[in-house]
């Protein structure tokens, strides 16, 4: 974990909702694993106050990229930064995805949930997993790769429907060991329901509002089952990836 | 060489910068050498473990932060077994923040801690309800504060800091009471009551509804509290509430604080305490002022 | 057609939006037709003319405004001769904000105003010191508030609104007292005590040192006060403190305010009250809610 | 007095401290007189909260220009706006300079105090006054016109010294009816002292922190002598131009 102020070295605007920014830092990149995240804040941007958490989307040598969706002020502010402008980064943070070797895995991604799963895919590939990647979005604007199975609510690209429709079908026809997922709450709930039926392993990346991001403030509590009892865990430190079946 | 060693009770601090309880933890040690701080204040610990409040516990407002953590902590026994072991070897002052439901429970916590070495002081967090008096917040009742602080002073030789809540009519009165009861220092302010609502869902943004407001939005409030208390007590004040940088810290010192604590800003820049230590040195150097002459030096 | 007529005491307001005392004046009439407001609240007037505090009286902080105007006003007699004449012909409710040094002086001011037509209500500003009781702020003392409001209610048939200060331990208690004494409505909050220091000169940014803090930085504080008071009184609440736009106003209404007042934001956008009236209409229309169902509708 | 949101139609960056922005609005321009001011705030700029007062620097038909010095956050924010970006304007506000006919007048300007005096000069010209214009600044960067008598503290342009040095000399050699001045407090005090000796009329444009800007809040109080007694006047409404001898 490091705190550094770095200039943006690359910026790619995907469409008016999504963009990618890239930083170069050897130490930060070296330590980053799939599922981990950074807190980011434009150096000159006073408000909103809290740096926001973003998953590592891609790592290439010393380069770290973040895929960001504009949803409110902090993300809008970040979207307005230009190459060379400076961002304060804290990370890598949290526990990433557990990567098994040589398994049959399914990745289920919804909307911006794609960000950590994109990086995860690289990790899974290196560990000789057989990967199927499902991604769902509202429309073509929410799709970041064509190389995977796509569902959109309006059918503007890929299949029309919810990504979870495809998951159900796929799991009933394929023997899958592990499911990795990240996306909106409703989708996660549905994925969990489906996976329960098929008894796959299930890793879920969760979101809560964060303050410190490093486990000090207890702000990011989430209720998780532990030894049969519900307890509060810290999404920033104990997660963001949890055993999906343990989320209360 | 700038010298800004200060004394808070029996403690000698190498510089006047510390952290606000609940906004800091051993994790910061991965980012910098936290022995550089004048003191470290722990998260508030209680006798029994507390699981904390239901989430969401944090929400950002237009100019600050709302939190309602609910004093989540592992309880004094676990604290001693885990965090305390790591804290005590750090080469600076260690202040354990404590809270309880009743005066006697405060006593029990202190007694546990008295058996432990490596603790330099206690910060008494009186911003919570007293079950013995209908849930009235300890820190708003002069008599209770007097009894509580007197009791604690009898129990320990260590430095006793009373941390005041600003949610009351007269901060001066309660500060005087704390001083009279023997408090070695006062720290202020704890969070201000605040609330926010999501207008789409009409839900409170914090599950617990009313929360603690911190950050830059409370700075003017914190400053006037420090200023007013500095006029009526002789014991040192640890000032906090919205401090982000050297300039903010200077305002508190000029208003009457002997030391300053950084809270919410630790979430923004985890190194801000170090920046402030450096910045204060630079200011003293440039202005050719002695640190002690800066404290409580409002120029009317 | 959206209908959001509301009743505040004996007044019928055509919409729930008004202005906060001291932040508005007839000058705004040059910018828009101020009869569109649900009510107009005047600057606070006192028995005798007041020249106000020494400048600087205004300072901006990181997230709000500090002011210490010192109730500058021409005194009740001049007010009646000048402003009142213009205000009374404006086709909306006129609420005169008043303050005084003592209960009896409050009575004198009201008696003067009772002889005048065109006034619909009084807002009793209790955020100032009571010379009869060692300068304790009227609004922090339950007994004084009870006596004061009871006396005023006996003196007038007009609507009596008590404007509370947030600088106290229990806003619920004082609100209950005001209601029990016969207040027709409560408005809150007045400014929060605040301070700022210029670190170069070490001078307070406001000559009077401790000032009133307003604007967005106090919104979370104001909201929780409204929410808490709404739980304990039946009379309507006029909510204020940091309201800038429709969304802010909605938070107050959901928290329990029947009406809202815009203060500091009048200095930013003098037409913001109109924007809020329009915005509320739109929200009600889109959400298909009745205004009365929105009031005090926090969804736990 | 109007409140309008207008796009910037022209922008001129003079140097890294000063810039000029121009708006077009017939009604606002028509009503503006020398010495009056507007409150300006970038529409998307939330903090600082208060719009800031700026004197009318130039008026040409429907065009209104402001000469602005970057001193803090609000002025920095304004300096970053580009053409077409929108600004909320409130004005014209206050009482401008009294303009007499056919007089011998001296204008004494210091730093950014030049802004209202530039517009004043046009007004004085139309009323057949004989104008001498003195301007002082720290260095060449604080000089906006070469057509006038310049003093700089470092001597980088014009005469080396304070503008008030020149004023003293000039008044002792010339019969002047009216002095108009705007600038830093020290300069104003000195100008007043000098003018007292020569019994000229003296109009001073004053600055205080402002909230409403229209006379409603009493925030901008300044102590002024009235009927021999000191009273508080509102800089925004009773001023910003005052009889210089009456400033306490
Ligand atoms: C572990 C983690 C990884 C994430 N990875 C990505 C990513 O790779 N790409 C991406 O676009 N988004 C990611 N997010 C979500 C991203 O953090 C939010 O979209 C962002 O904080 C919104 O800020 P805003 O000011 O633009 O919106 P706001 O208007 O402030 O908030 C919109 C929503 O964002 C969330 N949010 C607000 N403040 C915080 C905070 N302090 N901490 C966390 N969430 C907050 C809340 O749910 C809120 O309702 C991640 C979140 C978490 C917790
Ligand atoms: C009537 C009048 C006319 C002016 N005309 C011009 C002009 O033509 N060009 C120009 O560059 N400047 C002018 N000024 C000064 C200008 O308003 C300030 O420089 C500006 O407000 C600074 O804002 P800031 O946030 O950049 O700086 P800050 O860091 O906020 O403040 C720097 C200084 O600006 C002043 N200031 C701060 N807030 C306010 C406020 N709300 N109202 C008034 N002053 C404030 C204070 O003196 C403060 O010390 C005028 C001021 C007044 C009162
Ligand atoms: C997330 C969070 C947790 C806190 N927990 C505690 C606590 O356990 N004990 C305590 O005395 N104060 C606690 N506080 C209050 C801070 O110590 C501090 O008094 C307050 O936040 C004002 O300082 P700031 O504005 O710099 O944050 C907490 C504040 C925050 C934001
Ligand atoms: C410049 C200024 C002057 C004020 N004068 C008065 C006053 O005369 N009487 C009063 O009851 N409140 C006065 N107030 C308080 C406001 O009415 C209001 O309660 C407070 O500012 C909170 O609202 P806001 O945050 O929307 O400004 C004043 C506030 C400001 C900023
Ligand atoms: S955000 Fe602070 S503990 Fe997770
Ligand atoms: S700024 Fe409000 S009266 Fe002048």
**Lateral strand order in the sheet of D18-24:** D10-13, D18-24, D63-69, D58-60
* Interchain CB contact of A218 with B (< 8 Å): yes
**Is A32 part of a structural domain of the chain?**
yes
- Tell the burial category of B187 from Cβ atoms under 10 Å away from its Cβ (0-12, 13-18, 19+): buried
CA–CA separation, A242 vs C237, rounded Å? 46
CA–CA separation, B95 vs C171, rounded Å? 33
Q: Give, in order, the Cα–Cα distances in Å from A42 to each of A23, A62, A65, B52.
A: 13, 20, 15, 32
CA–CA separation, B99 vs B85, rounded Å? 20
pLDDT of res. D147: 82
**Is A109 part of a structural domain of the chain?**
yes
Q: Which DSSP string corresponds to A91-152?
A: EEESB-----SS-EEEEEEEGGGHHHHHHHHHHHHHTT-EEEEEEEESSGGG---SSSEEEE
CA–CA separation, B189 vs B295, rounded Å? 17
Enumerate the residues of chain D whose CB falls inside 8 A of the CB of residue C215. 49
pLDDT at B1 over 80: no
| Alpha-carbon gap: C81 to the closest alpha carbon of chain B (Å) | 38
Q: Do A216 and B72 touch (CB under 8 A)?
A: no
> Are A87 and A114 found together in one domain?
no
> Are D120 and D79 found together in one domain?
no
Biggest CA–CA distance in chain D, Å, is 52
> Are A129 and A76 found together in one domain?
no
**Is D230 part of a structural domain of the chain?**
no
A53-84 burial by CB neighbour count: b if 16+ within 10 A, else e?
A: bbbbbebeeebbbbbbbbeeebbebbbebeee
CA–CA separation, D182 vs D173, rounded Å? 22
Q: Residue B64 is nearest to which of C168, C220, C299, comparing CB atoms?
A: C220
Q: Which of the 8 DSSP states describes residue B115?
A: T
* Interchain CB contact of B118 with C (< 8 Å): no
Decide if C215 contacts C264 (C-beta within 8 A).
yes
pLDDT of res. A166: 87
In this complex, the chains that touch B, judged by 3 or more CB pairs closer than 8 A, are A, C
> Would you say the C-alpha torsion C66, C70, C75, C78 has a positive or negative sign?
negative
**Is A169 part of a structural domain of the chain?**
yes
pLDDT at A89 over 70: yes
Phi-psi region of D215 (alpha: psi -120 to 50; beta: other; left: phi over 0): left
CA–CA separation, C110 vs C97, rounded Å? 10
Report, as an integer, the average pLDDT of B101-122: 96
Q: Which residues 187-226 of C are in CB contact (within 8 Å) with D? A: 215-216
Residue B89's SS3 state is coil
Q: Which of the 8 DSSP states describes residue C204?
A: B
Decide if A171 contacts A200 (C-beta within 8 A).
yes
- The CATH number of the domain holding residue D25 is 2.40.30.10
Q: Nearest ligand to the C-alpha of residue D35?
A: 2
Q: How many residues in chain C?
A: 300
CA–CA separation, D184 vs D197, rounded Å? 21
Domain that holds residue D11: 2-93
- The CATH number of the domain holding residue A202 is 3.40.50.80
> Are A37 and A115 found together in one domain?
no
Instruction: Specify which residues D41 forms β-bridges with.
Output: D88
pLDDT of res. B111: 96
Closest CA to C186 of C248, C262, C122, C246: C122
> Are A108 and A68 found together in one domain?
no
pLDDT at B176 over 70: yes
Q: Who contacts B200 (Cβ-Cβ below 8 Å, separation ≥6)?
A: none
Decide if A115 contacts A14 (C-beta within 8 A).
no
D2-32 burial by CB neighbour count: b if 16+ within 10 A, else e?
A: ebeebebbebeeeeebbbbbbbbbeebbeeb
Q: Do B255 and C218 touch (CB under 8 A)?
A: no
In this complex, the chains that touch D, judged by 3 or more CB pairs closer than 8 A, are A, C
Q: Who contacts A93 (Cβ-Cβ below 8 Å, separation ≥6)?
A: A1, A36, A37, A38, A39, A53, A213, A214, A236, A237
> Would you say the C-alpha torsion B229, B231, B236, B240 has a positive or negative sign?
positive
Decide if B124 contacts B152 (C-beta within 8 A).
yes
As a whole-number percent, the residues of chain A with pLDDT over 90 amount to: 87
> Are D84 and D144 found together in one domain?
no
> Are A130 and A84 found together in one domain?
no
pLDDT of res. C1: 65
> Are D200 and D118 found together in one domain?
yes
Residue B19's SS3 state is strand
Band (B131; pLDDT cuts 50, 70, 90): confident
**Is A114 part of a structural domain of the chain?**
yes
pLDDT tens digit at each of 248 positions of chain D = 999 999 999 999 999 999 999 999 999 999 999 999 999 999 999 999 999 999 999 999 999 999 999 999 999 999 999 999 999 999 999 999 999 998 999 999 999 999 999 999 999 999 999 999 999 999 999 999 888 989 999 999 998 989 998 898 899 898 999 999 999 999 999 999 999 988 899 999 999 999 999 999 999 999 999 999 999 999 999 999 999 999 98
- H helices of chain B, in order, are 75-81, 83-87, 103-114, 142-155, 171-180, 219-232, 246-255, 265-268, 272-287, 291-294
**Helices C171-180 and C219-232, packing angle to 10 deg:** 50
CA–CA separation, A77 vs D83, rounded Å? 20
Domain count, chain A: 2
Residue C6's SS3 state is strand
Catalytic residues of B: 128
* Interchain CB contact of C21 with D (< 8 Å): no
CA–CA separation, C243 vs C188, rounded Å? 12
Q: Which ligand 4 atom sits closest to the C-alpha of C191?
A: 20
ipTM for the predicted complex comes to: 0.96
Q: Residue A212 is nearest to which of B56, B64, B267, comparing CB atoms?
A: B267
CA–CA separation, C213 vs B221, rounded Å? 8
> Are D18 and D68 found together in one domain?
yes
Domain end call among A93, A120, A148: A93
pLDDT of res. C130: 86
> What domains does chain C contain, in order, with CATH numbers?
6-52+71-191+216-294 (3.20.20.70)
| Alpha-carbon gap: D188 to the closest alpha carbon of chain C (Å) | 18
Decide if C142 contacts C126 (C-beta within 8 A).
no
A101-133 pLDDT, tens digit per residue, is 989 999 999 999 999 999 999 999 999 999 999
| Alpha-carbon gap: A161 to the closest alpha carbon of chain B (Å) | 26
CA–CA separation, A86 vs D9, rounded Å? 30
> Are D145 and D195 found together in one domain?
yes
| CA-proximal residue: ligand 3, atom 3 (nearest) | B22
> Would you say the C-alpha torsion A182, A185, A191, A195 has a positive or negative sign?
positive
Decide if B76 contacts B230 (C-beta within 8 A).
no
**Is D235 part of a structural domain of the chain?**
no
Q: Give, in order, the Cα–Cα distances in Å from B178 to each of A17, B110, B135, B174, D55.
A: 55, 17, 20, 6, 53
CA–CA separation, C84 vs C292, rounded Å? 32
**Lateral strand order in the sheet of C64-67:** C58-61, C64-67, C211-214, C192-194
**Is A156 part of a structural domain of the chain?**
yes
Decide if B109 contacts B45 (C-beta within 8 A).
yes
> Are D116 and D28 found together in one domain?
no
How big is chain B by its Cα radius of gyration, in Å?
Answer: 18
pLDDT at B90 over 70: yes
pLDDT tens digit at each of 300 positions of chain C = 677 899 999 999 999 999 999 999 999 999 999 999 999 999 999 999 999 999 999 999 999 999 999 999 999 999 999 999 999 999 999 999 999 999 999 999 999 999 999 999 999 999 998 888 888 999 999 999 999 999 999 999 999 999 999 999 999 999 999 999 999 999 999 999 999 999 999 999 999 999 999 999 999 999 999 999 999 999 999 999 999 999 999 999 999 999 999 999 999 999 999 999 999 999 999 999 999 999 999 998
Let me know if C289 is a catalytic residue: no
Residue C270's SS3 state is coil
pLDDT of res. A147: 82
> Are A108 and A195 found together in one domain?
yes
Closest CA to C196 of B255, D220, B164: B255
Decide if B21 contacts B48 (C-beta within 8 A).
no
pLDDT of res. B173: 96
| Distance (Å) from CA D244 to ligand 2 centroid | 20
CA–CA separation, A198 vs C124, rounded Å? 68
pLDDT of res. A215: 97
Q: Residue A208 is nearest to which of B52, B55, B215, comparing CB atoms?
A: B55
CA–CA separation, B209 vs B202, rounded Å? 11
Q: Who contacts C234 (Cβ-Cβ below 8 Å, separation ≥6)?
A: C179
**Is A155 part of a structural domain of the chain?**
yes
Q: Give, in order, the Cα–Cα distances in Å from D155 to each of D106, D158, D182, D186.
A: 22, 6, 21, 19
Q: Give, in order, the Cα–Cα distances in Å from C113 to each of C9, C149, D106.
A: 18, 16, 51
Enumerate the residues of chain D whose CB falls inside 8 A of the CB of residue C69. 217-219
Q: Pairing relation of β-strands B237-239 and B185-188?
A: parallel
Number of other CB atoms surrounding residue D42 within 10 Å: 18
Report, as an integer, the average pLDDT of A33-61: 96
């Amino acid at each position: 974990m490091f705190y550094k102020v770095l200039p943006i070295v690359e910026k790619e605007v995907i469409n008016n909702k999504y963009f990618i920014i890239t930083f170069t830092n050897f130490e930060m990149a070296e330590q980053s694993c799939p599922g981990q995240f950074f807190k980011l804040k434009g150096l000159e941007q006073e408000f909103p106050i809290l740096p926001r958490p973003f998953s590592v989307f891609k790592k290439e040598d010393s380069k770290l990229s973040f895929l960001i969706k504009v949803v409110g002020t902090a993300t809008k502010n970040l979207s307005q930064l230009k190459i060379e402008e400076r961002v304060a980064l804290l990370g890598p943070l949290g526990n990433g995805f557990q990567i098994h070797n040589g398994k049959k895995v399914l990745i289920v991604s919804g909307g911006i949930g794609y960000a950590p799963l994109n990086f995860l895919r690289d990790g899974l590939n290196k560990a000789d997993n057989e990967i199927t990647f499902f991604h769902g979005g509202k429309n073509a604007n929410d799709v970041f790769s064509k190389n995977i199975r796509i569902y959109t609510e309006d059918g503007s690209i890929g299949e029309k429907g919810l990504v979870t429709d495809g998951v159900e079908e796929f799991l009933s026809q394929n023997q899958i060991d592990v499911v990795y997922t990240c996306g909106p709450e409703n989708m996660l709930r549905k994925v969990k329901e489906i996976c329960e039926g098929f008894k796959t392993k299930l890793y879920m990346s969760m979101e809560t509002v964060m303050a410190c991001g490093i486990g000090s403030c207890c702000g990011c509590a989430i209720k998780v089952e532990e030894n049969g009892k519900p307890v509060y865990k810290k999404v920033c430190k104990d997660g963001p990836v949890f055993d999906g079946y343990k989320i209360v | 060489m700038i010298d800004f060693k200060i004394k808070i009770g029996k403690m000698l601090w190498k510089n006047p910068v510390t952290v606000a309880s609940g906004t800091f933890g051993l994790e910061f040690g991965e980012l910098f050498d936290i022995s550089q701080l004048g003191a470290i204040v722990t998260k508030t610990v209680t006798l029994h473990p507390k699981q904390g409040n239901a989430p969401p516990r944090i929400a950002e407002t237009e100019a600050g932060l709302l939190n309602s953590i609910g004093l989540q902590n592992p309880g004094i026994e676990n604290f001693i077994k885990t965090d305390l072991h790591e804290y005590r070897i750090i080469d600076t002052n260690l202040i354990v923040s404590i809270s309880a439901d009743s005066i006697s429970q405060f006593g029990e916590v202190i007694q546990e801690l008295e058996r432990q070495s490596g603790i330099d002081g206690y910060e008494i967090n009186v911003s919570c309800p007293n079950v013995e008096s209908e849930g009235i917040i300890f820190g708003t009742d002069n008599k209770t504060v007097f009894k509580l602080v007197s009791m604690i002073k009898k129990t320990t030789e260590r430095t006793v800091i009373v941390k005041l809540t600003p949610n009351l009519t007269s901060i001066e009165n309660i500060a005087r009471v704390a001083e009279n009861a023997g408090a070695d220092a006062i720290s202020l302010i704890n969070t201000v009551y605040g609330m926010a609502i999501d207008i789409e869902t009409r839900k409170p943004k914090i599950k617990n509804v009313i929360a603690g407001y911190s950050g830059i939005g409370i700075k003017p409030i914190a400053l006037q509290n420090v200023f007013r208390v500095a006029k009526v007590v002789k014991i040192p004040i640890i000032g906090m509430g919205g401090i982000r940088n050297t300039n903010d810290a200077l305002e508190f010192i000029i208003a009457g604080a002997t030391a300053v604590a950084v809270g919410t800003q630790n979430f923004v820049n985890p190194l801000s305490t170090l920046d402030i230590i450096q910045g204060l040195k630079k200011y003293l150097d440039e202005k050719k002022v002695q640190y002690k002459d800066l404290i409580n030096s409002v120029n009317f």
